[in-house]
Structure 1
Amino acid sequence: MPQLDPAPWFFMFIFSWLVFLIMIPPKVLNFVFPNEPSTQSTEKPKPTTWLWPWH
């Protein structure tokens, strides 16, 4: 049964992981985010009550 021969499948497995680990991360890390993260205020906003119009 040729499916049990590991030679071509093992090569494809190693080659695909080399692509994932070597070529893809630098391409993903080169993206520039349009909005720089800013620090948020530590004060919690006061919640306003909801006035439900009961008809």
Structure 2
Amino acid sequence: MPQLNPAPWFAILVFSWLVFITVIPTKVMSHTSPNEPAPLDSEKHETEPWNWPWQ
């Protein structure tokens, strides 16, 4: 039965994992975010307590 011969399927498995391990991570890591985070202001905003009418 030809489907039990592991020779071509093992080679395909090894080659596909080599592609997954070498090519795909380098392509994914080379992408940059279009929206780089901006530094936050160092000033602190003053907050006021809420005036709850039912308390």
TM above 0.5:
yes
**Residue of structure 1 in register with 2:11 after alignment:** 11
Is residue 2:43 matched to residue 1:33?
Answer: no
TM-score normalised to structure 1 length? 0.63
TM-score normalised to structure 2 length? 0.63
Q: Distance in 1 between matches of 2:36 and 2:24?
A: 23
Identity rate of aligned residues, in percent? 57
The two structures, once aligned, show a CA RMSD in angstroms of 1.7
Aligned length: 40
Q: Which runs of 4+ in 1 moved over 6 A?
A: none
Give the unaligned 5+ runs of structure 2: 41-55
